[in-house]
Amino acid sequence: MMRRVGLAFSAAISALLLVVSIGPPAAAMPDPAPRGAEYVSLGDSFVAVGSLSTATARACSQAPDNVGRLVAARIPGVGFGDWACGGADTADLTTVTDRGPQVRGLGPDTRFVSISIGGNDESLFLELMRNCLIGITCTPAVRAQAQAKVNRLGTKLDNAYAAVRKAAPNAHVVVLGYLMIAPRNPAGCFLEASAGRQNAVFARGIQEQLNRQIARAAARVGFTMLNEKQPDGHTMCGADGQRWVALTGVLPGENGIPVHPTLAGRQYTAKLIADAFMRG
């Protein structure tokens, strides 16, 4: 059974990596939403995409049931601007690219901002998945590169967060870590057989360090980090209906893009954000 799950996961991720490697068109994207909305969602595919049935090749892969839109539904009467974009990294918040600058969606009347960014910088997640979770190429050199990428991220986050604060001086800003992909202990999970215990544990450790970097950068600028620590049992290795990160996207209770938040994961994240906004 574990072998079948592992093969299904590898096939789903290989298809996902192919899409990611193709990338978006070179032309700058048009504004995806009005500028200066009261609530603005910024970031990458973890908050841009939604259910598998709404997957689209449109610019930024924004879905009608993504995290930002679920947050907006929880705070009715607040104008919403969705500027999150699949594949975005920290540079896309501040510079003119095919995915940015996302900060142009902010303004002095913006009251609430949520941010999910950092995992795509230097293809950190992409290479981690390719080499350490679906491949057998998680070599010492690959591990050292992943560690160096995480170590370099702090300055990039500082610059991106400073630009957000400048563009939205009056906003309550919350930042997100990434929902955990691999468990602390992969025993009994398909990852133990497919990737190997040591590789799965290494990937988990890198993601924990990534979330810590995000938390520290948020603290330096006065933003609120929401989910540095997360309850166990909701990784790709969780039981059906309990996963917050999709395995293949079509298993019971997932309803999400592979290795991205399931519907339950998106709802959990949206509630964290909306509750933080309402607390002030």
45-73 pLDDT, tens digit per residue, is: 999 999 987 776 666 889 999 999 999 99
Is 24 a member of any domain?
A: no
Is 221 a member of any domain?
A: yes
Q: 2-31 pLDDT, tens per residue?
A: 455 555 555 555 545 544 433 444 344 557
pLDDT the model gives residue 19: 42
Total domains in the fold of the chain: 1
Running along the chain, 280 residues long, what does each successive block of 10 average in pLDDT? 52 50 44 88 96 74 94 97 95 89 97 98 94 89 98 98 98 98 91 87 97 98 94 93 91 89 97 95
Identify the active-site residue in 114, 116, 234, 260: 260
21 carries an active-site annotation? no
Is 195 a member of any domain?
A: yes
Is 124 a member of any domain?
A: yes
Q: Which domain holds residue 76?
A: 2-19+36-279
pLDDT the model gives residue 18: 42
CATH code of 161's domain: 3.40.50.1110
45 carries an active-site annotation? yes
Is 255 a member of any domain?
A: yes
Is 29 a member of any domain?
A: no
Is 26 a member of any domain?
A: no
- Residue for token pair 């790709």: 236
Is 30 a member of any domain?
A: no
Identify the active-site residue in 10, 14, 45, 234: 45
